[in-house]
Amino acid sequence: MADTGPHGQTAAPGILRANRRELPTDMSTQTTPRFDLPTPDEHSQVFWDAARAGKLLIGRCESCAMAHYYPRPFCPHCGWPSVVWEEASGAGSLYTWSVVHQNDLPPFGERVPYVAAIVDLAEGPRMMTNVIDCAFEDLAAGMALQVAFQDIGEGFTIPVFRPAVQAA
């Protein structure tokens, strides 16, 4: 679980990697840093722009045809340097989760308790994310989920998941 943060919070591309070095040295004259904001680079900007438009993007390899998440400029399965963006269906199922009750990194402390989860996307990749709109006692392995989008401010929207509405 190399992409899991130190407190088990979820990761989207860039979160917790680059922001850490922007910690102010003098806390008294700086605003509170945020550890939840991504730092898009040239590649991941496409992902964040799509998320703001309500689309979840994954990567698809042009050689082995396998999908991956989070999107990278090369295929993590076979190393091929040519991948294309693909809009995921947004359907997934809950693989595992943890209810986070304490997280000292701002602004997560204001959000506890929340559900840090690993979701199996219908296209195959596993994704670290959050599950919202579900009572903790109702969480169950394998439950059907659907992507939703949460505005976290500063111009960023993150993909999260909520229980899928079952067809009548």
Q: Is residue 160 a contact partner of residue 131, using CB atoms and an 8 Å limit?
A: yes
Residue 74 touches Zn ion, criterion: CB under 5 A: no
Residue 15 touches Zn ion, criterion: CB under 5 A: no
Q: Which of 77, 42, 82 is nearest to 62 (CA)?
A: 82
Q: Are strands 144-153 and 156-163 parallel, antiparallel or unpaired?
A: antiparallel
Minimum Å gap between C-beta 127 and Zn ion is 18
Residue 64 touches Zn ion, criterion: CB under 5 A: yes
Which span sits near Zn ion by CB under 5 A: 4-12, 72-80, 100-108, 109-117?
72-80
Interface residues for Zn ion in 75-134 (CB under 5 A)?
75, 77-78, 80
Which residues would be at the binding site for Zn ion (CB under 5 A)? 61, 63-64, 75, 77-78, 80
